[in-house]
Copies of this chain bind each other. A is one copy, B any other.
């Protein structure tokens, strides 16, 4: 069920089997450093999101550069991070269900574990689980700052939950989860700035209300790769939860930077390597990477190495590329930039780390899976 790795260490890139999930290690390490530096410069903590990479090995690289720990979205991911040596993990999500609460509370015996809530009954269930395991869950109230997914309304509803948490045995009130997911992919810089400023306002308002009731927010967390500079500069948020910055993808690359230029704070470091397996017409190449090698929820991948070529159609095991005049032969390799990095990584068992054309690393996608 775990597929064998598509490469061996020391192998040249042109021998790697396909489809393979490549990391350009130089670009990846540069991205790690740039975000670490940005957090330092803004004076905020980085709690990188491990839902992007699903790898404790990468998480520990982020921690080594100054991150206080990681976020994840699932108990199964938290378990893998702790098993891999990460000492401080925030599940930046609600968790519901008997087995999951048992596992979460048990895990908190072995690492600092945070969790988010948006429901009174969930507070009670978390507290009972923590008491059973004699552990402490650092519990944040998730507020809806524009994503319209989970979370209670800012202000009074958040205060009510925070009071319950504060009074609940086994739980320690830790602050506010205020992630504006919908703002990350607004294309215009000013649009993202505006959406984030509204999230900042709602977060500050809620923080102040809780403060006035003696409930201090140790963590005011949120931000993604699309907006991190706004939260970082807000003087309100103190933890950044960006994840995709380590890899980038075609969707994030459609964002615009200041003055309409490209959003180029980070480089593309993640690619899916594919082989041309059919050349049915002059203009069409079919590659061996489709729905099972990339996620298409955020659009088609880009063809990295052929300027005019366009990946325009995916089936389960095939991708169709309109060549736009590019010369491509059967057996040629092309690197694709996935539309959406996180769920693309989730389709693979192995990262193949490449430096100067040679395989340097094979890293398991250790927390891959549907997340039960």
Identify the A interface with B (CB < 8 A): 1-3, 6, 15, 17-21, 51, 73-74, 76, 93-100, 118-119, 121-122, 144, 148-152, 181, 275-280, 286, 288-289, 291-293, 295-297, 314-318, 320, 330-331, 340, 342-343, 346-349, 364-366, 368-372
Contact = CB atoms under 8 A, between A and B. Distances in A.
A330 B292 contact: no
A100 B317 CA distance: 15
B370 A99 contact: no
A1 B366 contact: yes
A365 B152 CA distance: 38
Copies in the complex: 2
A317 B278 contact: no
Nearest to A314: B297
A368 B368 CA distance: 12
Contacts of A2: 1-2
Nearest to A74: B317
B330 A181 contact: no
Given A181-B315, A292-B369, A150 B277 contact: yes
A323 B283 CA distance: 47
**A1, A118, A122, A275 — which one has the most chain B CB atoms within 10 A of its CB?**
A1
A292 B346 contact: yes
Tell me what chain A mostly uses at the interface: helix, strand, loop, or mixed.
Answer: loop
> For A15, A277, A296, A318, which residue has the most chain B Cβ atoms within 10 angstroms?
A277
Given A95-B277, A119-B278, A371 B331 contact: no
Given A275-B96, A292-B369, A330-B96, A318 B19 contact: no
Contacts of A369: 3, 292, 347-349
Nearest to A346: B292
Contacts of A148: 280
A64 to B, nearest CB: 23
A100 B17 contact: yes
A144 to B, nearest CB: 7
Contact of A316 (B73, B316, B320): B73
B150 A18 contact: no
A116 to B, nearest CB: 10
A330 B279 CA distance: 52
A346 B1 CA distance: 10
Contacts of A316: 51, 73, 342-343, 346
